[in-house]
């Protein structure tokens, strides 16, 4: 269903012409200049290039299995970690293949938790960073390299690591100097959040035992359907992107993703792709992921619903709820998948759709200017710590009720949590989100730090000023040093949280901060009581 108010906008967009210009790598479909566009379009053809490398990837995975590898720890952030996390949750390890853990939190208790869950001597560590200089994966590497050097000896420890990065980065050089088992030099014209079908996604997928040929076959099939020679009315990526962009331009900028249970993790990846690609210049699409469905009367006119529906996967409740929502006048788009491997096609469809939505909105979907701003703020916090021996204070209100009472139509609550994920915390956040939507009628999102800084953080600061930001943190459980550095993981995590608060304030965003004490789930429940 297409809302009549955006019908004209959809009609005005010449999807075939835009498609041809995208495949022709014409940067002017987005911006007059080529900066951070012309060198970011390799995702269009990466499936073919990666198809040729499947035998090598399979051999790498077989070698790790033969040597008794039982665990794989991927140390990354944002684009290098979210795609692998989706693949892990959707496919899991095939029989005889090692399990995969994605480490993308600087909280010391999370790092310790990963360490305690593995046998370091039978673990392969993937250091994954496009730039090669991202502070989080490099800090994780220092921690685990120090551990393995002491347990295995330096020469043997080196072979426990592999790197995925762009050619010529400092990580590539370090990996060769430190005796890594392998360096995967990724095509440099593939941006981080568009990289799931490149080495960044396929190396961990191979280690899990995912059928790479089939995954890439489905992705390539979707790419062909989105190609410049596809009939105007039969381009699934352009159709989705035109709808997303036109709906957002007309005010329906809260893209509410409803996924079948087996595909629930896909939202993590879509969240970054849409938020970081479109949230800039005061515009953007707000991905709403993991929000419980409610009655049609609970939703405002800022919603677009997209149902990612896996055949035979317990869809009855969502089908019924979305039928009622659609019947009340809200737009609902349905994307049907036959099996989990259709996820390969969805990766490409959503990448192409995001590029088209960027053209509709008039933004560059390949840069992330406000992500760098948050990094700079974190650096300033760290510099203050190194100079003064303590972190600075950042003024922020703690009055959640006042924040919510000031909500306007089209606003949304963005919770950013410096907490370990877990069932009790997720359940408490679900309750908070339900209460906020029921009372205030606004959309809600939850992101975990520092992951969200490389994802929705761009949207919070660069997108429309509709975010009501709630940052929550719990008392740290101990600390861990970062070997060779004058700071610890707890200091790094607190610096990132405070830096984000400072960046939100500089962008004149509405923000409150709440400390949850030593029981995060109970602290969240207290906040939910304020929202009731």
Encode pLDDT of 235-271 as tens digits.
Answer: 999 999 999 999 999 999 999 999 999 999 999 999 9
Q: Give the domain-ending residue among 361, 379, 413.
A: 361
Of the candidates 419, 475, 411, the residue with the CA atom closest to the CA atom of residue 445: 411
Query: Can you say whether the dihedral through the CA atoms of 450, 346, 202, 42 is positive or negative?
Result: negative
Residues 354 and 405 in one domain: no
Tell me, what CATH number does 295's domain have? 3.40.50.10490
Q: How far is CA 406 from CA 17, 222, 251, 299, 412, in A?
A: 43, 44, 19, 18, 11
Check pLDDT > 60 for residue 405.
yes
510: in domain: yes
Residue 256, φ and ψ in degrees, nearest 5: -95, 105
Closest CA to 366 of 110, 8, 35: 35
Mean pLDDT to the nearest integer, 511-530: 94
Does residue 392 surpass a pLDDT of 60? yes
Let me know if residue 78 belongs to a domain: yes
Pick the last residue of a domain from 294, 327, 361: 361
Q: What is the mean pLDDT of residues 513-528?
A: 94
Does residue 291 sit within a domain?
yes
Residue 433 sits at φ, ψ, to 5 deg, of: -65, -40
How high is the pLDDT of residue 155? 86
For 478-488, the pLDDT digits (tens) are 899 999 999 99
If pLDDT is split at 50, 70 and 90, which confidence band does 3 have?
very low
93 and 17 fall within a common domain: no
Instruction: Quickly tell me which residue has 């957002």 as its tokens.
Output: 248
- State pLDDT tens for residues 59-110: 999 999 999 999 999 999 999 999 999 999 999 999 999 999 999 999 999 9
**Is it the case that residue 14 has pLDDT exceeding 90?**
no
Continuous segment of H or E residues that includes residue 467:
strand 467-473
Residue 136 lies in a domain: yes
CA dihedral for 86, 89, 92, 98, sign (positive or negative): positive
Q: What is the pLDDT of residue 232?
A: 63
Statement to judge: residues 347 and 234 lie in one domain: yes
In a domain, 472, yes or no: yes
Distance CA 424, CA 510 (A): 28
In a shared domain, residues 254 and 348? yes
Co-location of 49 and 192 in the same domain = yes
Per-residue pLDDT at 475:
79
Whether residues 299 and 175 share a domain: the answer is: no
What confidence tier does 10 reach under pLDDT thresholds 50, 70, 90?
A: very low
221 domain-assigned: no
pLDDT of residue 13: 59
Asked whether residue 396 falls in the same domain as residue 353, the answer is no
Cβ partners under 8 Å of residue 395, min gap 6: 505
The arithmetic mean of pLDDT across residues 197-214, rounded, is 98
What tens digit of pLDDT does each residue of 124-157 get?
999 999 999 999 999 999 999 999 999 999 889 9
Residues 250 and 178 in one domain: no
Measure the CA angle with vertex 27, ends 25 and 33; round to 5°: 145
Query: 304: closest CA among 326, 327, 282, 323?
Result: 326
Residue 312, Cα to own-chain centre: how many angstroms?
27
Q: What predicted TM-score, i.e. pTM, was given to this entire model?
A: 0.96
Q: Mind listing the pLDDT tens digit for each residue in 103-125?
A: 999 999 999 999 999 999 999 99
Task: Clarify whether residues 184 and 242 are in a common domain.
Answer: no
Domain that holds residue 233: 4-26+228-361
Output the CA–CA distances (angstroms, integers) from residue 277 to 122, 429, 478, in the order listed: 38, 26, 36
Whether 114 is in a domain gets the answer yes
Residues 433 and 478 in one domain: yes
Instruction: Judge if 356 and 241 occupy the same domain.
Output: yes
Examine the fold and report which residue of 361, 392, 414 is the final residue of a domain before the chain moves on.
361
Query: Total structural domains in the chain?
Result: 3
What mean pLDDT is predicted for residues 319-342?
Answer: 97
**37 inside domain:** no
Per-residue confidence (pLDDT) for residue 105, from 0 to 100: 96
Does residue 12 sit in the same domain as residue 94?
no
């Amino acid at each position: 269903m297409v809302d009549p108010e955006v019908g004209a906008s959809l009609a005005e967009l010449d999807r075939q012409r835009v498609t041809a210009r995208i495949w022709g790598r014409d940067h002017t479909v987005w911006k007059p200049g080529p900066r951070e566009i012309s060198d970011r379009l390799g995702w269009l053809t990466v499936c073919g290039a990666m198809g040729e490398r499947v035998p090598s990837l399979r051999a790498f995975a077989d070698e790790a299995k033969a040597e008794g590898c039982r665990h794989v720890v991927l140390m990354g952030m944002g684009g290098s970690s979210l795609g692998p996390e989706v693949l892990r949750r959707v496919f899991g390890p095939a029989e005889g293949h090692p399990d995969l853990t994605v480490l993308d939190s600087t909280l010391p208790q999370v790092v310790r938790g990963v360490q305690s869950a593995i046998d370091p001597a039978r673990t392969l560590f993937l250091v994954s960073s496009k730039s090669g200089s991202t502070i989080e994966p490099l800090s994780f590497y220092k921690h685990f390299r120090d551990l393995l050097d002491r347990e295995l000896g330096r020469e043997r420890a080196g072979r426990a690591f592999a790197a995925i990065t762009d050619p010529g980065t400092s990580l590539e050089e370090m990996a060769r100097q430190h005796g890594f088992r392998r360096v995967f030099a990724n095509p440099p014209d593939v941006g981080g959040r568009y990289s799931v079908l490149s080495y960044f996604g396929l190396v961990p997928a191979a280690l899990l035992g995912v059928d790479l040929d089939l995954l890439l076959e489905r992705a390539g099939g979707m790419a062909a359907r989105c190609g410049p020679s596809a009939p105007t009315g039969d381009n699934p990526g352009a159709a989705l992107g035109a709808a997303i962009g036109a709906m957002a331009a007309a005010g329906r900028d809260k893209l509410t993703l409803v996924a079948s249970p087996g595909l629930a993790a896909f939202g993590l990846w879509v969240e970054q792709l849409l938020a970081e690609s479109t949230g800039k210049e005061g515009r953007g699409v707000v991905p709403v992921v993991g929000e419980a469905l409610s009655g049609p009367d609970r939703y405002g006119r800022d919603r677009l619903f997209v149902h990612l529906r896996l055949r035979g996967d317990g869809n009855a409740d969502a089908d019924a709820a979305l039928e009622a929502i659609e019947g009340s006048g809200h737009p609902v788009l349905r994307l049907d998948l036959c099996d989990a491997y259709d996820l390969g096609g969805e990766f490409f469809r959503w990448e192409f759709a995001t590029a088209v939505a960027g053209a509709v909105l008039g933004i560059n979907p390949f840069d992330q200017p406000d992500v760098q701003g948050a990094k700079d703020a974190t650096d300033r916090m760290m510099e203050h710590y190194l100079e003064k021996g303590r972190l600075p204070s950042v003024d922020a209100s703690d009055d959640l009720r006042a924040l919510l009472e000031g909500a306007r139509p089209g606003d949304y609550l963005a919770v950013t949590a410096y907490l370990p994920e877990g069932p009790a915390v997720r359940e408490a956040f679900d309750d908070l989100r339900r209460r906020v939507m029921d009372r205030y009628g606004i959309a809600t999102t939850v992101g975990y730090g520092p992951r969200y800084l490389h994802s929705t953080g761009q949207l919070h600061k660069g997108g429309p000023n509709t975010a009501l930001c709630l940052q929550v943190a719990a008392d740290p459980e101990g600390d861990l040093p970062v070997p060779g550095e004058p700071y610890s993981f707890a200091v790094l995590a607190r610096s990132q949280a405070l830096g984000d608060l400072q960046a939100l304030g500089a962008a004149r965003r509405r923000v409150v901060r709440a400390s949850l004490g030593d029981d995060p789930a109970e602290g969240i429940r207290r906040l939910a009581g304020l929202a009731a």
